[in-house]
Amino acid sequence: MLFNSLEFALFFPLVFVFSWALAKAHVLRLGMLLMASYAFYACSTPLFLLLLVASSATDFLAGHAMARAERSGQQHTKKLWLIFSLTINLGLLSVFKYTNFFYGSAVQVLSLFGFDATFEPLAIALPVGISFFTFQSMSYSIDLYRGRIELERSWLRFFLFVGFFPQLVAGPIVRAADFLPQLHRLPALSRQQVGRALNLISIGLFKKIIIADALGINLVDRVFDAPSRYSSLELLVGLYGYTMQVYMDFSAYSDIALGSALLLGYRLPDNFDRPYLATSVTDFWRRWHLTLGSWLRDYLYYPLGGSRSSDLQTYRNLFITFLLIGLWHGADWTFVVYGALHASAMCLNRFLRVNVRGRKEHPLSLWGIAWRIFATLHFVVLARIFFRSQTFPQAWEIIRGLAAGTMGFSLMTLPLWALLLGSYAIHWTPRKLVDGSMRGLERLPAPLQGATFGAAVLWIAKRASARAVPFMYFRF
């Protein structure tokens, strides 16, 4: 079920009404939300609902086993249960997402050594959201093992933590320490929360339907489907379009997820902080997909040693982390290259900061900030070639086309220029203006809030394509 579909427009109001009707019957409310979440997931992949339940059950049972081992002083047993949890979750992720990747890579290696091997992809479907809910479920086991959270004794609360539908299939990746305590409290909803939630949902729909889908259909898909037809400038503009499309599409999902959860009385973490205002690649990853970045930082980068050891080991840790970030996004060598490019940039950024500029950051002039934003944005734009290209030949074709230096803008129309430039202008709007307008809408009387939201949704719906376009991160 898509957030931008008629089905969700009918589904969510029913969930909203029933959840608040059961607000004082707390256990019944949680049960209703769990059933609604499972129904939401089953609409897209009914059979794979079993995987979601299996992942939840694994970590719930492993958590109780770790708690018993802790009480008995059996640290080795406790560690074995953690390994069991990680093995099951990573095993599910590997089988359904990476089997064909490893199989195909093995066939290619054998071919290099003269073996007559043919790659026939296995018919393995990718469950929607598996990269998100397995990471979310695993974080509970790891934090419990580390003693950073308390054991969750209620299977109902734990299963809802893993399967809560607003963030289930495309994030944000929610930590148990942030969400489980909310499930122990009676929910509350203020007029300001409603105003903020409606703002987030309408902004998300605007980003998705008016900007991301339009850029994809009218610009990005055309450029990447037939790059040889277009000039170097059109290819570059297509990359600008894709860079904005992927941000608007993914942040739109996060906005709607945050807004939907808030209407149900729960708060989810922010996932983006205007990433195309980043002044370095390091700063970009502090602003882009925040919950994935913090997850890999806390559960991979820091355990590897982070930056506490030698420079060489720090660079190694950065490379491992960012190669896995690339692979997390997709089971293809193009994503590995994408991760390697960002890893290289992170290492270069650290080398310059430590060995050239010194560890102390000095204030930058306005021109210095502008230049860093420009350079960082264009690194991100060019790295997106490998993020979007489905094959290396397609990526090389785009790179050759960019290097050709040809001119021409036959693809671009005035409305398309307005959409592209307007989307960047929206992204770079000063935060004070955005926050001020949000607060103003949140202070409106409830009838005006509803009327404003309804008018915005109707206006967006009239401009939507005939069929709801899936969110891009569903395939990750």
Residues sharing a CB contact under 8 Å with residue 108, sequence separation 6 or more, in sequence order: 119
Map tokens 């949000």 to a residue.
438
Q: What torsion do the CA atoms of 132, 136, 138, 139 make, to the nearest 10 degrees?
A: 140
From the candidates 76, 184, 289, 329, give the one annotated as an active-site residue.
329
Residues sharing a CB contact under 8 Å with residue 117, sequence separation 6 or more, in sequence order: 107, 110, 111
| Cβ–Cβ < 8 Å for 258, 164 | no
Residues sharing a CB contact under 8 Å with residue 275, sequence separation 6 or more, in sequence order: 247, 284, 287, 288, 380
Q: What torsion do the CA atoms of 123, 338, 170, 291 make, to the nearest 10 degrees?
A: 140
Distance CA 250, CA 212 (A): 9
| Cβ–Cβ < 8 Å for 349, 362 | no
Q: How many CB atoms lie within 10 A of CB 238?
A: 26
> Which ranges of 305-365 does DSSP label H, i.e. alpha helix?
311-329, 333-351
Question: Token pair for residue 470?
Answer: 């899936």
Q: Per 3-state DSSP, what percentage of the chain is helix, strand, and coil (rounded to 5)?
A: 75, 0, 25
Q: Residue 220 carries which side chain, given as an amino acid letter?
A: V
Residues sharing a CB contact under 8 Å with residue 334, sequence separation 6 or more, in sequence order: 386, 387, 389, 390, 391, 392, 395
* 3-state SS assignment for residue 280: coil
Q: Does 329 participate in catalysis according to the annotation?
A: yes
Residues identified as active-site: 329
